[in-house]
Amino acid sequence: MSTITASRSEAASISWTKVVVLTLVIALIAFFLSPNAPLGTFWRPDAHIPAPTSVELPFLILLNVIEVLAFGFGIAFPVEGNQRPQHLP
């Protein structure tokens, strides 16, 4: 009985590890493709929009990090959630 429980918890932790890794990879790609990031030059904001102040900038970066992590999790969870772990008979 304890081996079945151990194998189920091990399979669940492996699945969450895959979700976390995939979330971070997708979030990193999305972060570098953001409009103000180095690779997001093709959809930059209009030049007439004023730049954020030095007080606002850290909060906007934090907001962008939260946004890309949510995007990464939103993609990774269904991708890895469709794969059911195989249980012992």
Higher pLDDT, 53 or 81: 53
List the domain boundaries for the chain: 2-81
Instruction: Tell me the pTM.
Output: 0.71
- How far apart, in whole angstroms, are the C-alpha atoms of residue 30 and residue 40? 9
What is the residue type of 17? T
Give the tens place of pLDDT for each residue, 16-73: 888 899 999 999 999 998 887 878 777 777 888 888 899 998 998 899 999 999 999 9
Pick the closest to residue 21 from 29, 33, 10 (CA basis): 29
Which residues make Cβ contacts (< 8 Å) with residue 3, sequence separation at least 6? 88
